[in-house]
Amino acid sequence: MLRLIAIGLVLAASARAADVLKLDDAIAIALENNRNLQSSALNVAKAREQLAATRTRQFPGINLYALGAQQLQSYDVVVEGVHMTTPIQPTGTIISQVKQPLSSLIRIHRNMDMLKTGVKLAQEQTRSDRQKLTREVKRVYYSLQQVESSLRSVRETTILYQEIAKLTSNYVLQEVALRGDLLDAQTRLARSEQLDVQLRNQEAASKEQLNLLLGRDFATEFNVQPVLEAKSTEYTIEEARAMAVRNRPEIRQAELQHLQATQDLRAKKAEYIPDVSAEFNSLNFLNWGRYIPTQSVSVGVSLSWEPFDWGRRKHEAAQKQRTVDQAKQAQTVAESQVLIDVNDKHRQLRYRQAELRVVQLAQQTAIENLRVAKNKFAVQAMLVKDILQAQVSLEQSNADYQQALTTFWNARADFERALGEDQ
């Protein structure tokens, strides 16, 4: 009893030394600090920058060209009997142009529509990454809960084995138990102590993994809350399917990819339109001689068009149309896969609920059997091997229960992710 109290005090002191990390807090920290998720968010920023860069193409373009050169020959011109010539000397030419696109605004706006869809696609990918991260945090957290629960069970078992080994040792001295029974009890005690070391190693590895997901120093010490009791499913399968169709990033991404492919096709067809622009041009001639005007200024409309391209644009548009068809098929496949996933996760969750009920009853049975066995053993009415077997049964039932409980919460987390819930 004193040893049990001492262990309890050590555990309490350990719990105070390390902060208790709640699951909701762990998820919030991960969503804020996880480096992979931050990298995913940068893709959204990149897509917005690309959109902003394309938006500037609808405004007037300002170009400046300057040339400094040494003339190698003169230009002689006779105008109405007046002989004019340019000097052979360094000259300069400056061409300034302000060009406002007109007809090409159609193609620019269609490209902008496609890039706006690209921003939404990047946002959906980030949302998908958030859901994956949340699921991974829950998985590691639940495994930690199971390990810590197993550690508590192993410590209790170790205490019991110590007591049984002590009692058996006394019975051997009294010649009411065999030495083999004592060795068996000591072996089980050693195995329990070995399992304690193994579980501590698993606990350390899981904590490092969770700290990495949370984007903090892997050596940060913390404890997790005990695993919660199971809760029933709140959604019928019909409600789950409807929610998944509304929320799952895969469906939304497939829709956006189909929309983007359609917008890309419209932008390609806009290339048939001639490029018409309003222009302001200024030419400045420096040191060309007094007979050459120093400046020429004009305002006009320019047209650029490729009337015959050997069918290139036709084939490029046909390629874009094939992409649209592929995206439409992918959208149908994505929705079917999501619904199949929801059905599967819903079935798994129901099965884990039923499994949990079975192991709960088995655990209660094992607890009662051990209580009876301990009472009989105390009055030497039971063999050592019988009480050890009862203890083994309880250990197994406890392990089965913790495993079933953790598996249930994992199944529930999978189901929630199948619904498209962000947390």
Alpha helices in 174-248 (DSSP H): 179-213, 237-247
Instruction: Give a yes or no: residue 259 inside a domain.
Output: yes
Alpha helices in 94-104 (DSSP H): none
Which CATH number fits the domain that encloses residue 369?
1.20.1600.10
The per-residue pLDDT for 16 is: 46
Cα separations (Å) of 232 from 6, 340, 352? 38, 21, 11
Say whether pLDDT at 91 is over 50: yes
Instruction: Give a yes or no: residue 280 inside a domain.
Output: no
pTM over 0.75: yes
Residue range 182-208: average pLDDT?
87
Domain of residue 212 covers 2-60+102-274+311-419
From CA 269, how far away is CA 114, in angstroms rounded? Answer: 14
Instruction: Give a yes or no: residue 284 inside a domain.
Output: no
Instruction: Give a yes or no: residue 329 inside a domain.
Output: yes
Domains in the chain: how many in total? Answer: 1
The per-residue pLDDT for 423 is: 61
The per-residue pLDDT for 383 is: 58
The per-residue pLDDT for 303 is: 92
Residue range 17-26: average pLDDT?
84
Per-residue pLDDT band at 38 (split at 50, 70, 90): very high
Nearest-CA neighbor of 87 among 239, 285, 257? 285
From CA 405, how far away is CA 230, in angstroms rounded? Answer: 7
Say whether pLDDT at 4 is over 50: no
Instruction: Give a yes or no: residue 89 inside a domain.
Output: no
Least confident range from 94-108, 298-312, 347-361, 381-395: namely 381-395
Write the pLDDT tens digit of every residue in 141-194: 998 988 888 888 788 778 877 877 887 788 778 776 677 777 877 887 888 889
Instruction: Give a yes or no: residue 294 inside a domain.
Output: no
Residue range 376-397: average pLDDT?
65
Q: Are 179 and 172 in contact (CB under 8 A)?
A: yes
From CA 188, how far away is CA 389, in angstroms rounded? Answer: 11
Write the pLDDT tens digit of every residue in 295-351: 899 999 999 988 888 999 999 999 999 999 999 999 999 999 999 999 999 998 888
Nearest-CA neighbor of 195 among 150, 261, 235? 150
From CA 216, how far away is CA 83, in angstroms rounded? Answer: 84
The per-residue pLDDT for 6 is: 45
Instruction: Give a yes or no: residue 288 inside a domain.
Output: no
Instruction: Give a yes or no: residue 300 inside a domain.
Output: no
